[in-house]
Amino acid sequence: MKFEEFQLERNQSLFENEVDYNLSESGVHPLKLSEILSHEEQDKILDTELFYGYTNGTPELRQRVAEMYGSNFKIDNVLITSGSAEANFLSVMTQLDCGDEIVYMVPNYLQIYHLAKSFGIEVKRLPIRQDLSWQWDLDELKSLVTAKTKMIAICNPNNPTGAIMSEEVMNGVIEIAQELGCWILSDEVYRGAELDGNECRSFAGATKKTIVNAGLSKAYSLPGLRLGWSIGSKEYIERAWSFHDFTVINVAYLSDWVASKILSYERRRKILDRTKEHLNHNLDMLCDWAEDVPQLTLSRPEAAAITFAKINLPISSEDFVFDLRDNFSVLLTAGKWHGLEGYVRFGYGTPTDYVKGGLKRIKTFLNSK
């Protein structure tokens, strides 16, 4: 089987550690274990045996995750995965076959897009519209689905725009999926990074055939744990677990242990409050900077540590990113790699002075055009 290249990840992997300023990241600057664990817990880690643990996640952690989505969910509705990326992979592997059809939100983090196409699945791209505040047009969605549509794939809050799906559109998507009897797959890894501090409505439980995937890498500032989860029906979780046995078997025991501690309600809220404060501060700074940069038009996000900027220059998004990277040592991601040409994605979740340094270089780059 020939897999399509994941351009976004490949370009980040090759250069994110080579540039002076990496503004391609989409999460909040990572926390240290010393910032989230007590001294007693840190000591306990040093005395912990590194055994396999539970292949589907410890009951304690699955209970923590279930509680985040309400009283209708139990531990049998949760599978712990190696990041939300594995959760997305399992969703495609378990529910779609060659020749099936999915409707896919763009712009997006194109993991599911590339995977599905590599498996011989027909992917119908449906753009969210900037003139609709980065929302779907429900009439467009209705015109695109057919009796062959097996899945509607969403990223909410959206990567790369930071937009949150409106209640009207969300209800419309659920209604259409119910009429078709198709799956809803909602990547919600940015949920918890809302700039107003209020977690947006989750698709979890919207239908019997709804899968929600998320993890700790973005809003929770813990990408190094590689800890994610799927939440869905007991039947779906059992099937995904059976495929999980063929991928990573189980997540690292220490990652599971740490996650079970920090996802208690009080600690979770403390981390998310830090996320909100940091992102609002840096976004205000970024928007002030953009007022003096006519070569770009920023879209102010509602969530996440990212914003999508329209390029007001006669240059492709890749050429923009490559020129900036090679000559000014700043890394962004190209709109093309998200499925929408003419834009670049800024990550502003790193420390404030670091973001300032990168923006200064970008302005020098733009003034040379």
Pairwise CA distance, residues 91 & 115, whole Å: 11
Residue 28 and residue 162 in contact, taking contact as beta carbons nearer than 8 Å: no
Residue 23 and residue 330 in contact, taking contact as beta carbons nearer than 8 Å: yes
Res 4: pLDDT: 86
Q: Provide φ and ψ at 12, rounded to 5°.
A: -65, -45
Res 270: pLDDT: 97
This prediction's pTM: 0.96
333-334 β-sheet, strand order: 296-298, 306-311, 343-347, 333-334
Q: Alpha-carbon Rg of the chain, whole angstroms?
A: 20
Res 369: pLDDT: 79
Which is nearest to 107 in space by CA: 288, 291, 299? Answer: 299
Coil, helix or strand at residue 242: helix
- Type of residue numbered 302: E
> What domains are there in the chain, each with its CATH number?
7-32+267-367 (3.90.1150.10), 51-264 (3.40.640.10)
In order along its 369 residues, the chain shows pLDDT tens digits of: 788 889 999 999 999 999 999 999 999 999 999 999 999 999 999 999 999 999 999 999 999 999 999 999 999 999 999 999 999 999 999 999 999 999 999 999 999 999 999 999 999 999 999 999 999 999 999 999 999 999 999 999 999 999 999 999 999 999 999 999 999 999 999 999 999 999 999 999 999 999 999 999 999 999 999 999 999 999 999 999 999 999 999 999 999 999 999 999 999 999 999 999 999 999 999 999 999 999 999 989 999 999 999 999 999 999 999 999 999 999 999 999 999 999 999 999 999 999 999 999 999 999 997
For CA atoms 169, 116, 223, 278, the dihedral sign is: negative
Give first-to-last CA distance, the chain, whole Å.
43
Res 2: pLDDT: 81
